Every structure is written in C-alpha cells, then in structure tokens.
Amino acid sequence: MLIPISNAFAQDLNTVITKENPKHPADLPNDGITSPTHKKYMGKIVFSKKEAALEWGKEIESDFTNKFTLGGPDPIYLRVYMNNSLSNYITRLSEKDRRSSKDITAAYSFKLYLDGIPILYSRYGTRSAFSLEEKQTFTTFRSSFYKDDGYSKGTNVFKNFLSKTEDKLTPGDHKIKVEVYPMDDYDDVFLAPMVASGEFTLTVSANAFNLNDDAVCLPKAMMQDKKIEAGMLKAFNNSEGEGKIARIVESDWTIERNQTTGIILRHAIDGIIAFTKNGKCKYQVFGFAQDYDGTKFQDRIYLVSVGSSKDINCSCLK
C-alpha cells in the first residue's frame, strides 16, 4: 500500500482574473461580519504564532504578528477575512445561476510572492476542502502555513511554495506576500477578483532547510534501519536514477501470501527516495519488497510499486 502525498493544484501565474458580471444572481445569506476584528481587517489576512489568537469570533489582536522564522519553533497561523462567501463570489462571475454545480467545484487559490516576485498560484486543498454549507456561509477561515499539519491544506501550499523558491530564499529577511482568490475549475479554470491579502517577514536561518524538518523537507521516518535504507537506494538506483536519501515511511512490513495456499511469498514496505532530476529536487514514494525463501526473508530488496512525488527545495539535500 503506497502512502499518499498531497500535492497542491498549481496554476499558471498569468491566469486571467474574471470580473464580476453586473447581472449576476442574488447572493445567498452568509455569516457576514463575525467579529469587530473581522470588520477592522476586512479583506486582509492576519498572522499569529498562536492558534488560539485566531479563534473564530474570539481573536486576540495583541497576539497578531508579521514576523516569523523558517527553521524556528513557531508555527505560522493565519486567518482570512472576507466580505462574502465562496459560493457567492463564484456565482457573481456569470449571469446564469449555476450554483448547484459550481459550488461543488469552487475552491480558494493562494498566490504567494517572495520579495515582490510571484512564485506560486495554488489551490487551497481540493474541491472538498470546504463542505457545501461552508462554501455558502463562511466569510472567514483559519489555517497554518508551517509547523501544524492539522491544517495540512495550508502547510502543503507553503511547502510547495518553498520548493519553488529555489536559491532565492537565502539566509536573512524576506517579504512574503499572500493573496487569496476564489476559483472554479468546473470546465476551465476561472479566478474571481482577489478577496484578501496579507504580508509577513520571514527570517531564514542558516539551518532553515533541515532535512529532518518535515514542515520544510522530508517526511519523518517511521522506522530506521541502515541496511534496509541502503537496499532501497540500491533498488532505486538500478531502475530510476541516483537517489540521495532513503527513508522508511511505514512502521512495519506487510506480509504477502499466496491466496490459495497461504504460503508466505514476500513482505513489503513503503519508503521514500529523495533525488534530483533535471535540476529539480523531489521525493517520491515507492513500494519495496523482500522475497521469502521458506525459512527467512532474503537480503535483496527490490522495487515493486511507484507512487506519487513531491517537489522540495534543493537546499534540503545539500
């Protein structure tokens, strides 16, 4: 069984914004302004190192900040404040009311800039990141970019952003600008006008791209065995190229038996291989196995299945 990797749906940085249709259908009722803080920061994205500071309707403004450290201990939480719901934003793009179908495919897209340069346009999660009710009512939502995978849709976007900064994210201070756009890809990709934006300073430490920081680089190993890891690299190198790092990402082997006799045939386990290809760096999930000879599992490890891959910043492999 290959573990899944979440990859953000990337868009062309030059995707054209679709203007509102002046004859759009009427809006559905929504949550409106949820707090005095919402009113104050309408159309903005605010940030904090504390999740509780961004609790819905109970925000603690004194804990808002726009300074964070990559490679540091603090998460990057955010809350987006809007003046309408996702459903209404998308419905406003056309004269005909197609809400019943458009609500299914509607999502948000994040555009991230590094020091004024656009780096990434990415959908926030999948089409089902929000329920239909949430798409029709939410006028604000909370997420995280860093150090809290309870908000994996946000951390996945930010990790993809880091992978595309290449050598531009040098040690020191950098300005990160974030914009949020409603989007729909029912039959083509449509972006509504921007609904919120925010900025923060990201201090990049010398050891920011720590190989063992799964918020930035590679998934954590679920098992450590140098002999198995070496066998995984050898199996990968024989068929796929030159791997740099192997990690076991399952906690135990899965026994595979003959369906008729029940005799053990082999055992298998998932691993990831980090490698470079065409000047880019990534890791990919593979299934590896060892055959059973009737008394023991053989030493040779071979590749049996290929899973999805994810780009990473090449600084992770230096």
Chain segment 220-250, per-residue pLDDT in tens: 999 999 999 999 999 998 766 689 999 999 9
Q: Is the pLDDT of residue 2 over 80?
A: no
Alpha carbon separation from 300 to 194, 235, 292, 294 (Å, rounded) = 54, 9, 10, 15
Chain segment 155-209, per-residue pLDDT in tens: 999 999 999 998 899 999 999 999 999 999 877 788 999 999 999 999 998 889 9
Q: Residue 215 forms beta bridges with which residues?
A: none
Q: Where are the domains of the chain?
A: 36-204, 226-317
**Locus of tokens 């590094």:** 114
Q: Is the pLDDT of residue 150 over 80?
A: yes
Q: Residue 204 forms beta bridges with which residues?
A: 70, 172
Q: Residue 277: its pLDDT value, please?
A: 86
Q: Residue 144: its pLDDT value, please?
A: 96
Cα distance between residue 88 and residue 207, in whole Å:
44
Q: Residue 176: its pLDDT value, please?
A: 98
- Residues 124, 201, 16, 10, CA torsion sign: negative
Q: Residue 19: its pLDDT value, please?
A: 94
**pTM: predicted TM-score of the whole model, two decimal places:** 0.88
- Residues 83, 84, 90, 94, CA torsion sign: negative
Q: Residue 166: its pLDDT value, please?
A: 80
Q: What is the mean pLDDT of the chain?
A: 92
**Which residue, 123, 119, 122, is CA-closest to 177?**
119
Q: Residue 1: its pLDDT value, please?
A: 58
Cα distance between residue 197 and residue 17, in whole Å:
15
Q: Is the pLDDT of residue 121 over 80?
A: yes
**Which residue, 268, 269, 212, is CA-closest to 245?**
212
Q: If you average pLDDT over residues 59-83, what whole number do you get?
A: 95
Question: N- to C-terminal Cα distance for the chain?
Answer: 30
Q: Residue 5: its pLDDT value, please?
A: 56
- Of residues 1 and 43, more confidence is placed in 43
